[in-house]
Structure 1
Amino acid sequence: MSEVLNAEVTSSEEGGLSRRRIVKGAAWSVPVIAAAIAAPAASASGPIYSATLTLKGANTAGLTFVSSTSTGTGTNLTGIGPTSFDIQNTGSAITGTITGTVNIAPSGGVLAGAGIQSMAPAALGSPAYSTAHEYSATFSNVGPLASGETLNIPLSFQYQRVNPLPKKVTYSYTMTITLTLPDSKSVTLPGIALSVTFP
């Protein structure tokens, strides 16, 4: 009788599920599930970009503002403003291009605007004055910028050459610099004071 029962148990184990087979199967399936859960987290991770902007030489007097029409040193004016700004990379290394915008808005009514002449090593693009004498431009700087590295951007300025040119007046402006990182996050340096004296 016991031989018949043992034969039935053996044949049912061979042909179907047994407790031993379920336990063995469970032991192999658990690591596979764990790996599948961990994989998306690993694949979703990537560079984390962040940066700070720091103004240098704010309110420096005696800055040279050249004519927007580049008509020679005899047409230079003087004014007050910053000398440069720093981009400090506080995140992952940046291998792509950093882009940004510069806006210089008049503080009150003016008859001429103020703008950026150069910000090398960054390349200046699409500079323009509005009918209200507001200046806007884009800039770009090609990487790399290592994590922790600081890039200094010197600023040189221009005034909007208009006819007739204003006389015996000092105009004030507010400059805003916005930096856009490769992941489209932006950092803004607002409220930068500028002024130009028209003799």
Structure 2
Amino acid sequence: MSEVLNSKVTSIEEGGFSRRRVVKGVAWSVPVIVTAIAAPAAAASGISATAALVGPASIITYVSSAGTGSGTNRSGTGPTGFQIQNTGSAINGSISGTINITPAGTVDAGVGMQSISQVPPTLPSYSAAHVYSGSFTSAVNIASGQTANFPVAFQYQSVNPAPKKGTQFSYTLTITLRLPDGTDRVMTGALTVTY
């Protein structure tokens, strides 16, 4: 029946609307609309930046969570900081993050973050299983093509009885960094401490 209805296009329909022209127009419009929705403008696609640990297997010093003093520091390995490398437009605003340090096996004490850029983390805590958690915030202004560095310092958990002298424990460090646009960057590394 459609062949009969569409077999003759009158001279009025040639320059105007016909059912066939409307259907063709809709068929071509749908992919264009879907593409426009699925591919947002570059400005709306988030901050272009990477985050990485600095010196992830460096020789570092752990201070006691109970305070420092002569003979209380312990040696170990871990990162000396982390950095944010900006590969897009300027990053301005506040970053926040969480720090989680979990034992890699059975341990007698935990390790934690002493400071980030010389500022202690907020709400640091150790669980009964010696898992450490803490958080931080920092204002940033990172120009396009620049890298911001955040030095870190670590501590060991002061427990009684203390682990046997010479015992080495290993841990997994996870820092989840939230950038001003709400996107996350996750950094993981390994820590060791020798008592």
User: Which TM-score band (shorter chain)?
Assistant: 0.7 to 0.9
In the alignment, what sits opposite 2:178? 180
Query: Aligned partners of 1:57, 1:161: CA distance in 2, in Å?
Result: 26
In the alignment, what sits opposite 2:100? 103
- Are the counterparts in 1 of residues 46 and 183 from structure 2 also a CA contact under 8 Å? no
String of CA shifts for 1:23-46, please: whole Å, max 9, x gaps: xxxxxxxxxxxxxxxxxxxxxx55
In the alignment, what sits opposite 2:88? 91
Query: Aligned partners of 2:51, 2:175: CA distance in 1, in Å?
Result: 9
String of CA shifts for 1:119-146, please: whole Å, max 9, x gaps: 1166621111111101111122102222
Aligned residues: 155
Residue 161 (structure 1) shift: 0.4
Larger relative helix fraction: 1
- Are the counterparts in 2 of residues 96 and 142 from structure 1 also a CA contact under 8 Å? yes
- Are the counterparts in 2 of residues 115 and 135 from structure 1 also a CA contact under 8 Å? yes
In the alignment, what sits opposite 2:46? 48
In the alignment, what sits opposite 2:136? 139
* Aligned mate of 1:126, from 123, 127, 139: 123
3-state SS in 1 of match to 2:92: coil
In the alignment, what sits opposite 1:68? 65
- Are the counterparts in 2 of residues 103 and 135 from structure 1 also a CA contact under 8 Å? yes
Percent identity between the two aligned chains:
52
* Aligned mate of 2:163, from 166, 179, 194: 166
Residue 53 (structure 1) shift: 1.2
Runs of 5+ consecutive residues of structure 1 not aligned to the other structure: 1-44
Residue 158 (structure 1) shift: 0.3
CA RMSD for the aligned pairs? 2.3
- Are the counterparts in 1 of residues 92 and 142 from structure 2 also a CA contact under 8 Å? yes
Deviating above 2 A after TM superposition, structure 1's stretches of 4 or more consecutive aligned residues are 45-48, 121-124
AA paired with 1:180?
R
Residue 47 (structure 1) shift: 8.1
Runs of 5+ consecutive residues of structure 2 not aligned to the other structure: 1-42
In the alignment, what sits opposite 1:115? 112
Query: For the pair shown, which has the larger CA radius of gyration, 1 or 2?
Result: 1
- Are the counterparts in 2 of residues 122 and 153 from structure 1 also a CA contact under 8 Å? no
- Are the counterparts in 2 of residues 105 and 173 from structure 1 also a CA contact under 8 Å? yes
String of CA shifts for 1:52-90, please: whole Å, max 9, x gaps: 1122212123x2100001142421111111112211122
In the alignment, what sits opposite 2:36? none
TM-score computed with the length of structure 2 as normaliser? 0.72
Query: Aligned partners of 2:46, 2:56: CA distance in 1, in Å?
Result: 30
- Are the counterparts in 2 of residues 121 and 141 from structure 1 also a CA contact under 8 Å? no
Equivalent residue runs for 1:14-53 within 5 Å = 48-53=46-51
AA paired with 2:172?
T
- Are the counterparts in 2 of residues 124 and 137 from structure 1 also a CA contact under 8 Å? yes
String of CA shifts for 1:93-115, please: whole Å, max 9, x gaps: 22210111111110011110001
Equivalent residue runs for 1:141-156 within 5 Å = 141-156=138-153
